Chain A
Amino acid sequence: EVQLVQSGPEVKKPGESLTISCKASGYRFTSYWIGWVRQVPGQGLEWMGVINPTDSDTRYSPSFQGQVTVSADRSFSSASLQWSSLKASDTAMYYCARLMYFYGSVDYWGQGTLVTVSS
């Protein structure tokens, strides 16, 4: 059974760093791109970036380029999303998602990680 299990909720202060994770199981991790999607409370879905776990080829959406870092660790079948300096506007639910192929639909979603940034 394919599963994407994300790390738990986080409460951080502005300026702090953070890494959240997405652990994949039930399939060959390097066979599918992984993406990250943001959802601000009460708002819609936004693509942040995608990564090929085989070679860590990463593509960011323009709005998120330079704001976050997406990475993957093949040995742990895990993808990560990292911030070096959080802002209050980063408060959101973050989903990892497995893509059928590079431009393909998502076929599996993680359960989401809620990040709250507040002083």
Chain B
Amino acid sequence: NFMLTQPHSVSESPGKTVTISCTRSSGYIASNYVHWYQQRPGSSPTTVIYEDNQRPSGVPDRFSGSIDSSSNSASLTISGLKTEDEADYYCQSYDNYYRVFGGGTKLTVL
């Protein structure tokens, strides 16, 4: 089994760009897709990136995902930050029937 490690929190100003990392503890990050979910306070999660870098319809192109094999990590980048982006973000991947969420990152837009 493996773990996905995310920073506990990040903060940035409106209009800026922020990147949230998700590091896989064992196994190769590129071997299994990584998905990203946004959860605003009091709401169900929603998907912002699936299959490493695909955006569902309705998700603005300010959201992008990538994989870095050298650091065995995935990243979610949000550009042109808006106050509405303030939320918790979770990465998720899988291996051998085992699905894992990262611990989540609280994004503060101040």
Q: A95, B101: Cβ atoms under 8 Å?
A: no
Chain B positions within 8 Å of A54 at CB level: none
Q: A107, B98: Cβ atoms under 8 Å?
A: no
Q: How far is the CB of B64 from chain A (nearest CB, A)?
A: 15
B: number of interface residues (CB 8 Å) = 25
Does A45 touch B at the CB level, under 8 Å?
yes
Nearest A residue (CB) for B42: A112
Q: A106, B56: Cβ atoms under 8 Å?
A: no
Q: B45, A103: Cβ atoms under 8 Å?
A: no
Q: A112, B44: Cβ atoms under 8 Å?
A: yes
Q: How far is the CB of B23 from chain A (nearest CB, A)?
A: 15
Chain B positions within 8 Å of A95 at CB level: 44-45
Q: How far is the CB of A65 from chain B (nearest CB, A)?
A: 11
Q: A62, B35: Cβ atoms under 8 Å?
A: no
Does A31 touch B at the CB level, under 8 Å?
no
Q: B35, A61: Cβ atoms under 8 Å?
A: no
Contacts A100-B50, A103-B32, A103-B94; is A44 near B45 (CB within 8 Å)?
A: no
Nearest B residue (CB) for A111: B44
Q: A44, B90: Cβ atoms under 8 Å?
A: yes
B window 87-108: CB within 8 A of A: 88, 90, 92, 94, 97-104
Chain A positions within 8 Å of B61 at CB level: none
Give the complex CA separation of A46 and B33 in angstroms.
Answer: 18
Contacts A45-B45, A62-B98; is A105 near B51 (CB within 8 Å)?
A: yes
Does A66 touch B at the CB level, under 8 Å?
no
Nearest A residue (CB) for B100: A47
Give the complex CA separation of A95 and B43 in angstroms.
Answer: 11
Q: A110, B32: Cβ atoms under 8 Å?
A: no
Give the complex CA separation of A23 and B64 in angstroms.
Answer: 32
Does A26 touch B at the CB level, under 8 Å?
no
6 sample A-B contacts, Cβ–Cβ < 8 Å, listed by A number: A45-B37, A45-B101, A47-B101, A62-B1, A104-B35, A105-B33
Q: CB within 8 Å of A: which residues of B?
A: 1, 32-33, 35, 37, 39, 44-47, 50-51, 56, 88, 90, 92, 94, 97-104
